[in-house]
A = this chain, B = another copy of it.
Amino acid sequence: MPSYTAPTKDLHFVLHDVLNVSESDVPGYSDLDADFTSAILEEAGKVASEVLAPLNVVGDTEGCVLENGVVRTPTGFKDAFEKVKEGGWTGIDLPEEYGGQNMPYIMYTAVGETSSAANQAFTMYQGLTHGAASAILVHGTEDQKNTYLPKMTSCEWTGTMNLTEPHCGTDLGLMRTKAEPQGDGSFLVTGQKIFISSGEHDMADNIIHLVLAKIPGGPDGIKGVSLFIVPKFLVNEDGSLGERNGASCGKIEEKMGIHGNSTCVMNYDGARGWLLGEEHKGMRAMFTMMNEARIGVGMQGLAQAEVAYQNAVEYAKDRLQGRAVTGDENPEGPADPLIVHPDIRRSLMDQKSFVEGGRAFLLWASKMIDQSHRGGDEAAEGMVSLLTPVVKGFLTDQGYDMTVQAQQIYGGHGYIEEWGMSQFTRDARIAMIYEGANGVQALDLVGRKLAQDGGKHVMAFFDMVKTFIKNNGDNAALKDDFLEPLKAASKDLQAAGMYFMQNGMKNPNAALAGSTDFLHMFGHVCLGLMWADMARAAQAALDAGTSDPKFYETKLATGRYYMARRLHATGLHLARIQSGADTVMSLEADQF
């Protein structure tokens, strides 16, 4: 049975040593002193390891069952959900007026990492609710907010997002679901939606579906899509539940992982719905949520890598197999532990340097969301908009690879379900796909974000890297091991951007053929920057005579590994990009 311990010390390090949250002028951050965040993260960590983690395998094994239109969640999920609700964990960053705690988004991310790592499928019930509540918060009328938000903040009612249909996912302009106006402000929604996470279940009194649909007579394609609130049970004027709406689960999908979450085919048969936001502006309403949702998915990639890594370390220390090539390290025992072997360490260091770097990246992006939403900081908004596809695509692609590496350390025991390592891999796989498949993230990055606002944000990114390098130029601890590799990687990234500029206008394929490579090299440069900044913070703590030198020395050593062994990847990606589109596009479809 795998275990999970929340990385509270590492979270603390990023929040306080690296991002200095409590000294930041972002509104609400002054409350985030070390005592406060530690108390929150300690408690969240307990819920994660004691309540959620023990149900992870259960959820995977039992899955969700649909019987007579009712979905039964796995044993223990309902009780655990009650505990999470009682603890007030469901609305920590939602407004106090609706029962939330109004903490910054960065705390939602930090807490979210721990619950996602402990049980991704379970955490999605709450995560989808959070997404739907955020949409109502931004686009809802006062009446809608008062009706839905208090119950959704507490997760007495949960929420869903309904975009995909059988024939369209990425290209939602092809959507067929219809919403016919009834003249009383309501609409009748008819159509089928698929892949609806948490679409139907037995853990909440009501489910508030947000459904994209077309109002007949509206514009063609994506411009004619509107967003509707379609509750499972209609809500009476007094807030009590009324009749059952025409929204039902037709099927639960069998899938590779996240079995504990009910992924539903949802049938809307003249279900009553109400417009959320403006007519035909449904995609805009959805996009408001997109940055947060995508960063949330990036977090899932990281979280699965973290929990898989923790269990890989345990096994590598525990399992005796072979002898160290440099001499026995466990001479009394029948063999040495796996962790003595260089290739096992190489794998563990890949994982460790990724999760710690990725965590800093994620929390930095979350801070920028707070700067943007709470502080109205447009530069931060632009930067996080640029980096969102990188957070999503890079952390989930790499996060998945890391779960595969962690699983590999178990050998055959990683392939059987008994040890739980297979589940981490299978669960992590979805994060590369949903909220926009990673190829779509790469397209968004190269096709839209790079040139957004005249390329201002990407230039700001390069300036930031340059400034960091300049400001730390006389820091001997950073110079060779961190600043030089960061400079080289950043130069590669700039060269790739330059290649796109010079060739993409003539031939857009020249840019798009390199989009996934660009996303990955961008991710590496971000993690390189994070590691350089973490090294700065670690060295500062050591220079200041910290009482815990080993912790900070470990940070420096892990960072050096990333810079020496991982960051080089930018060169490979650049070479691929600069090879152009010709070899990529040369075949006719029938030559495949």
Contacts and interface: CB of A to CB of B under 8 A. Distances in A.
A468 to B, nearest CB: 21
Interface string A541-573: 000000000100010011011001100110110
Contact of A418 (B174, B254, B422, B579): B254
A43 interface: no
B412 A256 contact: no
A493 interface: no
B414 A433 contact: yes
Given A412-B433, A583-B349, A335 B592 contact: no
A380 to B, nearest CB: 29
Interface string A188-202: 000000110000000
Interface string A385-418: 0000000000000001000100110011011111
Q: Give the interface size bracket for A toward B.
A: 35 or more
Nearest to A253: B416
Nearest to A579: B564
B438 A256 contact: no
B512 A171 contact: no
A320 interface: yes
Interface string A415-448: 1111000100110011011100111001100010
B415 A429 contact: yes
A255 interface: yes
A20 interface: no
Contacts of A313: 592
B557 A591 contact: yes
Interface stretch (A5-13, A140-148, A162-170, A284-292): A162-170
Contacts of A254: 416-418
Interface in A26-67: none
Contacts of A592: 313, 316-317, 339, 348, 352
Contacts of A325: 447, 508-509, 512
Interface in A250-304: 253-257, 263
A442 B438 CA distance: 30
Contact of A344 (B164, B195, B439): B439
B411 A169 contact: yes
Copies in the complex: 2
Contacts of A335: 171, 173-174
A171 B321 contact: yes
A321 B167 CA distance: 9
A568 B557 contact: no
A389 to B, nearest CB: 12
A516 interface: yes
A345 interface: yes
A515 interface: yes
A585 interface: yes
B565 A571 contact: no
B322 A255 contact: no
A575 interface: yes
Contacts of A437: 408, 411
Nearest to A430: B415
Nearest to A334: B174
A10 to B, nearest CB: 12
Nearest to A220: B334
Residue in A339, A404, A512, A550 whose Cβ sees the most chain B Cβ within 10 Å: A512
Nearest to A170: B321
20 contacts: A169-B411, A171-B335, A253-B416, A254-B416, A254-B418, A256-B415, A257-B415, A325-B447, A326-B507, A326-B509, A343-B513, A345-B585, A347-B516, A400-B404, A407-B429, A422-B429, A564-B579, A564-B583, A565-B584, A568-B576
Interface of A: 164, 167-171, 173-174, 194-195, 253-257, 263, 313, 316-317, 320-322, 325-326, 334-335, 337, 339, 341-349, 352, 400, 404, 407-408, 411-412, 414-418, 422, 425-426, 429-430, 432-434, 437-439, 442-443, 447, 507-509, 512-513, 515-516, 550, 554, 557-558, 560-561, 564-565, 568-569, 571-572, 575-576, 579, 581, 583-587, 589, 591-592
3 cross-chain pairs, A with B, having the tightest CB-CB distances, nearest first: A342-B512, A256-B422, A561-B583
Given A194-B412, A343-B516, A411-B433, 16 more contacts: A169-B412, A174-B335, A195-B412, A195-B416, A253-B418, A256-B425, A257-B415, A313-B592, A325-B512, A337-B589, A341-B439, A352-B592, A415-B429, A564-B583, A565-B576, A568-B575
